[in-house]
Amino acid sequence: MKNILTIFLFLLISLEGNARKWKPEKAVLELNQALIHREADILDKILDKNLSYGHSNLWIEDKSTLINNNASGHLIYKSIEIDKITTEKNGNTCVVRYYARHNVILQGKEISLNLHVMQVWKKKSCKWKLLARQSVKI
């Protein structure tokens, strides 16, 4: 019984330590890489089920639409270059803002966009997930 309690405490401490080590900048890069490489499994893990993903043209996607559009090639992310990232954590919420140059192909048309992006990340069950994202053209 003592061994089981020790193992439980060790696991609990490990989970808490991992949650504290979360870096918003790393999460943004992981999201961008998953979009570029069309990794639906990673997107499924890091996107909240209630996701609202707003684009600069007022197009809004939910989680399943974003994953499907990414996988089908409806919207292809060629590259995303980030600059001037800022983060603000408040409890189980983190707001991330940055400037980015997106090179995409939308319905076969290549587009280059300079954007300001805001993301809202929410911690649920010791995991951070993207809850909302909105971009505007600059």
Instruction: Report pLDDT digits (tens) over 40-91.
Output: 999 999 999 999 999 999 999 999 999 999 999 999 999 999 999 999 999 9
Confidence of residue 116 (pLDDT cuts 50, 70, 90): very high
Domain residue ranges in the chain:
23-137
- What tokens appear for 16 in the block? 């808490």
- pLDDT score of 16 more than 70: no
* CB 135, CB 56: distance < 8 Å: yes
Per-residue burial over 111-126, b if 16 or more Cβ lie within 10 Å, else e, is eebebebebbbbbeee
Q: What is the mean pLDDT of the chain?
A: 89
Q: What is the pLDDT of residue 6?
A: 43
- Which one is predicted more confidently, 8 or 73? 73
Residue predicted with more confidence, 8 or 50: 50
Whether residue 4 has pLDDT greater than 90:
no
SS3 138: coil
Cβ proximity of 36 and 78 under 8 Å: yes
The pLDDT score that the predictor gives to residue 3 is 53
Percent of the chain with pLDDT over 70: 86
Q: What percent of the chain has pLDDT over 90?
A: 79
Residue-level pLDDT at 94: 97
Pick the CATH number of 23-137 from 3.40.50.620, 3.30.70.1380, 3.10.450.50, 3.30.450.40: 3.10.450.50
Please answer whether residues 75 and 60 qualify as being in contact, where contact means their C-beta atoms are separated by less than 8 angstroms.
no
* pLDDT of 111 above 90: yes
* pLDDT recorded at residue 5: 43
